[in-house]
Structure 1
Amino acid sequence: MSRFAPRSLAGQMALLLGIALLVAQLANFALILSDRQRLSLAQTEGPAITRFASTAADVAQAAPEFRTSVLEDASHRGARFAVAADSGIADARRKSAIEARLVDSLTAAGITVREVRAAIDGPASAAFAPPRRQRPDTQSLYLSARQADGSWLNARLTTPKRDALLPWRLAAATLLLYLLVLGATTWLARRLARPLADLTRAAEAFGGRGEPVEVTPRGPDDLRAALSAFNAMNRRLVGLLDEKDHMLGAIGHDLRTPLASLRIHVESMEPEDERAAVIARIEEMTAMLEDILVLARTGRTREALRRVDVAALAEALVEDQRALGRPVEFVASPPAVAAVQPALVKRALGNLFDNAVKYGGSATVAVRVTGDTVAVSVTDHGPGIPAADRARVLQPFHRLEGSRNRDTGGSGLGLAIAQSVAESHGGRLTLGDAHPTGLVATLELAVG
């Protein structure tokens, strides 16, 4: 059942309140209908039953010679009384609820009868002809009581008709109330859910670049306070990221300067083989420093987003690689325009090309567009990466090759930088198997 339940806060609140309100309204409808029906019975048949019991008491107390006069005096204002050998009410027409009330009324009047019968409308009692004219809002109530001597005291009394539309009117009123209350609660649930949806969109849109996304506080006071706190936290977070960027810039400058100075000093170092080794180590440190700074600043770079053809950009990078004599091939691909930061995307693709050539001997590059995503796949046919290690190699400084030599193991930042670039563009980096052997690294970027 939970599969079919709404997943949003507003939907779940509306469903829960709707079910609870429906149960309450149905119970209320049943109670009101029962009470109104009892009231209607008391207002329609009640006075006629009381009148019959009163007349029956008068007849029982009157002398035999005066009973006819008593019946004639009682037969007025829509009532007819008579004594007959039979009630004239067939079993199929009897109304047990009215008969039960008639017995109670007669007993309260101190009259003991052997049997009672009651009917509404239908064929006339044997003691009376049907009324000649009857108002459409009235009905004929036939009551009979078998007296001690075996004769039947019969009566036809005109009473107001029961309200046949009462259940429908109550049902309509109940439905209207249900819809009004449900509509109000649904509106309230949506009013509470809208600020939360704004909060979700702001959190998802936050990329660490530029000004933080502000959420307009609205709704109840406690929800407004939560949104204001989120805005304040967002501003503090952006401030911390800006401070981190300044610190990284200072560190990069402070480290590059002594490394450049050291490079100058060792240029005259002897012997030559030792000088080359020291220079190589300085270049390695410089390259690692650059990788660390790029990884730390990914997502915070001030480079503007531009709509470029990613396929053309990848093809240009491949041509640069081929000009350097590296075995990188480009598979003809259709245009794939997306809003990207070109410098970061070039850095990520360059890292993937380097890994493919270094570990697989060559690289094949292809670009495709799937829905709202541009995917650049780089395929090699080297030893590949075991599936169990693929999540770990995306972490900074993790290398399958355990040495510290950049020519064999690298710095362990190439794939981490590529993944960070993909995530900053609303995409991801995935690693898969190539056939028959090798690795496919796919850089996915949102079209934007």
Structure 2
Amino acid sequence: MRLWPRSLQGQLLLAVAVALLLGQTINGVLLYRAQTERREAALIHTVAFRLYGALRDEDEAVPRRFRRPPAEAMLQGLPGTRESAAPPILPTDQRLSEHEDDLRALMANQGIALEAVQILRRDIGIDPVAQRRLERRLRRGGEGRLPETVIVAAVRREAAGPWAVARVLVPPPPARPLLGLVIQTLVIYALLVGAIALILQRLTRPLKALTRRVDHFAATRDASDPMQPVGPADVQQLITAHNALEARIAALLDEKNVMLGAIGHDLKTPLAALRVRIETVEDDTQRARMAATIDDIARSLDDILSLARVGRPGDPLEVTDLTALTAQVVEEFEDMGEAASFAGAERITLSLRPTWLRRALRNLVSNALRHGGGTARVNLSRQSASVAIAVEDDGPGIPTGEIERMLEPFTRGDPSRNRGTGGAGLGLTLARAIAEQHGGNLTLANRSAPDGSVAGLTASLTLPLT
């Protein structure tokens, strides 16, 4: 399962969603901590108020400047403050040292200096005073969630003096403390992500159309219907530049075709004249050599022109019986006495350019006959989403490091310049170009004999079924 989207729109939306989720998570943590600190500060103020009432002189009024705790915290206070000879700490208590300095400072602001301060958090079930207070609350019809812990604060003004102990119930946290934040996050997601999605759609729609246009031009080289500039200004400039590039490439290709046509005409005409003139040569051996040389030059010229034109074929796609076409090519070699064979296959029809594909098959079979020990076996097989034409020979194969290089133009496995063995080095290149023109590919692979040696070469021309 792919979690990371491949499109620009999907990646940007995912980045925004992750950033928003991270920001809201941090916001939620900070909000929860702030709420907790406010609740604890209110409890400390309640404790301070109760301890101040116990430690002040009986005839002294509570100073007006003393800030009373919030009403919500006052409701949780336990009436009365007790005295104890020892600090009321139990083994299971949790000491809140971070709030002891706060309580000491609050009392000092009211003119009461404390020698020792202890603030403890205790389960309400093990504190009898808090338990009685909770029972009275229940008898009075208290509803809602009940406190589970109690804050016990003990202070002493003198080293040998008694401890003043005050208690305050810790109100339970809200049932859904982050519900508002979750709702806020969903609303932000709906608004922000929705707005960004609309903007990205306006941006990526022309980019997708431009991608389809590039693919179409790569397949057809047709620049007659340029794409209209749409979208943001930057995208419009990109489309305009692409249209100009397409027009320039198409013009260069047209010039190339005109030039190749002129070259072909200018070279083939004198070659034909030479072919006529050599008939006057009386020496049969010399005449045959001259004729072979002229034929080699003509074939090389034809290969070069075909390779140059393969990007812009003139003939249209036709629904063709690939099995019959393959059999016809093999029969041509059989009629010339070559050891070529076709195993036969089920009838497979494809939309292709038969003239070009016939040329590619001829090159592969001819290459196998020339370099593969004089034999060529052709097999046709249907695969899951493609069809493969395999041409096998019994030759020495190709060194592993040289296989890719053999598909490059003017590369020959035979180092000699003899046309009978070396060739011009364009047959495999032209076959690969024709395969890629049809959306397929050409691969070369050595076959292994049972003893591990190379048993020959297999050239596989693969074409898509769709």
By the TM > 0.5 criterion, same fold?
yes
1:312 alignment partner AA? A
Name the count of aligned residue pairs: 432
Q: 1:431 to 1:115 in 2, by over 3 A?
A: closer
Q: Does 2:337 correspond to 1:339?
A: no
Q: 1:135 to 1:224 in 2, by over 3 A?
A: farther
Provide the residue aligned with 1:407 in structure 2.
Answer: 420
Deviations 1:54-81 (A, max 9, x none): 6457x51518xx99xxxxxxxxx97986
Q: 1:125 to 1:27 in 2, by over 3 A?
A: closer
Deviations 1:226-266 (A, max 9, x none): 34433432332222122211221122122222322333344
**Higher mean displacement: 247-256 or 94-103:** 94-103
Provide the residue aligned with 2:59 in structure 1.
Answer: 62
Select 1:130's aligned residue among 112, 119, 136. Answer: 136
**Higher mean displacement: 403-412 or 46-55:** 46-55
Q: 1:280 to 1:86 in 2, by over 3 A?
A: closer
1:358 alignment partner AA? R
Q: CA deviation at 1:202?
A: 4.8
CA distance in 2, matches of 1:411, 1:330: 26
CA distance in 2, matches of 1:106, 1:268: 130
Q: 1:208 to 1:15 in 2, by over 3 A?
A: closer
Q: CA deviation at 1:146?
A: 6.7
2:4 alignment partner AA? P
Q: Does 2:96 correspond to 1:107?
A: no
CA distance in 2, matches of 1:171, 1:100: 33
- Aligned-pair identity (%): 32
Aligned residues of 1:336 and 1:368 also touching (Cα < 8 A): no
Deviations 1:359-384 (A, max 9, x none): 32222111012222221112222343
1:31-430 correspondence runs (5 A): 31-41=30-40, 45=43, 48-49=46-47, 52=50, 55-56=53-54, 60=57, 62=59, 91=89, 96=96, 102-112=103-113, 123-124=128-129, 130-131=136-137, 133=140, 136=143, 161=171, 163-165=173-175, 167-169=177-179, 172-173=182-183, 176=186, 179=189, 183=193, 187=197, 202-207=213-218, 209-212=220-223, 220-270=232-282, 273-359=285-371, 360-430=373-443
Provide the residue aligned with 2:68 in structure 1.
Answer: none
Q: 1:394 to 1:32 in 2, by over 3 A?
A: same
Aligned residues of 1:404 and 1:410 also touching (Cα < 8 A): yes
CA distance in 2, matches of 1:144, 1:391: 87
Aligned residues of 2:80 and 2:166 also touching (Cα < 8 A): yes
CA distance in 2, matches of 1:229, 1:346: 38
**Higher mean displacement: 224-233 or 168-177:** 168-177
Q: CA deviation at 1:348?
A: 0.9
Provide the residue aligned with 1:6 in structure 2.
Answer: 4
Deviations 1:242-292 (A, max 9, x none): 221122112212222232233334444545554444343333322222111
CA distance in 1, matches of 2:317, 2:281: 46
SS at match of 1:441: strand
SS at match of 2:299: helix
1:169 alignment partner AA? L
CA distance in 1, matches of 2:120, 2:284: 129
CA distance in 2, matches of 1:268, 1:207: 50
**Higher mean displacement: 424-433 or 204-213:** 204-213
Q: What residue ranges of structure 1 are gaps of 5+ in the alignment?
A: 68-76
Aligned residues of 1:338 and 1:374 also touching (Cα < 8 A): no
1:396 alignment partner AA? P
Q: CA deviation at 1:193?
A: 6.2
Aligned residues of 2:51 and 2:164 also touching (Cα < 8 A): no
**Higher mean displacement: 163-172 or 193-202:** 193-202
Aligned residues of 2:54 and 2:81 also touching (Cα < 8 A): no
SS at match of 1:438: strand
CA distance in 1, matches of 2:285, 2:130: 134
1:9-28 correspondence runs (5 A): 10=8, 13=12, 20-28=19-27
Q: CA deviation at 1:106?
A: 2.9
SS at match of 1:130: helix
Provide the residue aligned with 2:463 in structure 1.
Answer: 445
CA distance in 2, matches of 1:367, 1:125: 91
Q: 1:209 to 1:420 in 2, by over 3 A?
A: same
Q: CA deviation at 1:331?
A: 0.2
Q: 1:150 to 1:404 in 2, by over 3 A?
A: closer
SS at match of 2:308: helix
Q: 1:80 to 1:429 in 2, by over 3 A?
A: closer
CA distance in 1, matches of 2:12, 2:236: 20
CA distance in 1, matches of 2:121, 2:413: 98
SS at match of 2:389: strand
2:108 alignment partner AA? T
CA distance in 2, matches of 1:85, 1:50: 15
**Higher mean displacement: 319-328 or 299-308:** 319-328
Q: What residue ranges of structure 2 are gaps of 5+ in the alignment?
A: 63-73, 450-454
Aligned residues of 2:16 and 2:193 also touching (Cα < 8 A): no
CA distance in 2, matches of 1:270, 1:196: 69
| TM-score relative to the length of structure 1 | 0.76
Deviations 1:121-147 (A, max 9, x none): 875469989355365479899988778
Aligned residues of 2:17 and 2:189 also touching (Cα < 8 A): no
